[in-house]
């Protein structure tokens, strides 16, 4: 059982919201929600989304598995026809374990001609593996892997620089 709705702010901007409820003898009742905003015009291409399901939500056709959540933003801004700024933020989590993964990505894209594109960017990713997001330690480094059960946590900086060269031949 579920419902969804769409609201068109304009020809270029849309909001979609969905709610679903499932029941199985094995898992009982579960709910899932999803909302997404999209806008695309000559200068801006935006997608912002949020989705979450209970650990007992059981719908094999759903975008998210049982007990998971994902939110993010994907934004591209055209400074001019051949020059774009692109940003992407994503957070994925498992609600049953509290494990979460986050990433951020930003690039400057330059179209040299129809066949060649130059891209320079920065990517950052982090993982939290814990039974509760609230119990994750606060530490100045951006990345934590380990446990909170008395063992020594491992800290590292997952930051990386990303350079990509791609050519479409056609």
Q: For residue range 9-30, list pLDDT tens digits in order.
A: 999 999 999 999 999 898 899 9
Residue 130 has a pLDDT of 52
Task: Determine, yes or no, domain membership for 4.
Answer: no
Please state the rounded mean pLDDT for residues 24-52: 94
Task: Determine, yes or no, domain membership for 12.
Answer: no
Task: Determine, yes or no, domain membership for 1.
Answer: no
CB 18 within 8 A of CB 3: yes
Task: Determine, yes or no, domain membership for 151.
Answer: yes
Task: Determine, yes or no, domain membership for 11.
Answer: no
Residue 110 has a pLDDT of 93
Decide: pTM greater than 0.85: no
Q: What share of the chain is helix, strand, coil (3-state, %, to 5)?
A: 0, 60, 35
Residue 70 has a pLDDT of 94
Please state the rounded mean pLDDT for residues 44-51: 96
Q: How far apart are CA 57 and CA 24, in angstroms?
A: 9
Task: Determine, yes or no, domain membership for 25.
Answer: no
For the segment 93-145, what is each residue's pLDDT rounded down to a tens digit? 987 778 899 999 999 999 988 888 888 999 998 887 654 444 333 333 333 33
Range in 46-50, 96-100, 163-167 the model is least confident about? 163-167
Task: Determine, yes or no, domain membership for 15.
Answer: no
Which of the two residues, 110 and 62, has the higher pLDDT score?
110
**Number of structural domains found in the chain:** 1
Of the pLDDT bands very low, low, confident and very high (cuts 50, 70, 90), residue 89 is very high
Please state the rounded mean pLDDT for residues 80-95: 92
Task: Determine, yes or no, domain membership for 158.
Answer: yes
Q: How far apart are CA 92 and CA 125, in angstroms?
A: 11
The CB-based long-range contact list for 131-139 (8 Å cut-off, 24+ gap) reads: 131/97, 131/98, 132/98, 133/93, 133/98, 133/100, 135/98
Percent of the chain clearing pLDDT 90 (strictly above): 49
Range in 52-56, 77-81, 109-113, 130-134 the model is least confident about? 130-134
Residue 129 has a pLDDT of 66
Token pair for residue 28?
Answer: 């009982």
Q: How far apart are CA 129 and CA 101, in angstroms?
A: 9
Q: Which domain holds residue 97?
A: 39-167
pLDDT at position 2 over 50: yes
């Amino acid at each position: 059982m579920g419902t969804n709705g769409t609201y068109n702010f304009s020809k270029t901007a849309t909001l979609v919201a969905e709610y679903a409820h499932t029941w199985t003898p094995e898992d009982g009742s579960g709910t899932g929600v999803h909302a997404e905003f999209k806008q695309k015009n000559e200068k801006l291409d935006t997608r912002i989304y949020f989705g979450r399901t209970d650990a007992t939500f059981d719908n094999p056709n759903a975008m998210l598995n049982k007990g998971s959540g994902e939110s993010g933003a994907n934004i591209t801004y055209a400074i001019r026809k051949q020059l774009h700024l692109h940003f992407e933020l994503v957070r994925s989590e498992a609600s049953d374990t509290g494990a979460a993964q986050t990433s951020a990505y930003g690039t400057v894209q330059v179209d040299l001609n129809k066949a060649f594109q130059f891209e320079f960017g920065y990517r950052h990713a982090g993982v939290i593996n814990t039974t509760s997001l609230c119990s994750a330690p606060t530490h100045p480094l951006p990345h934590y892997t380990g446990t909170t059960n008395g063992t020594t946590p491992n800290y590292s900086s997952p930051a990386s620089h990303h350079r990509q060269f791609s050519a479409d031949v056609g």
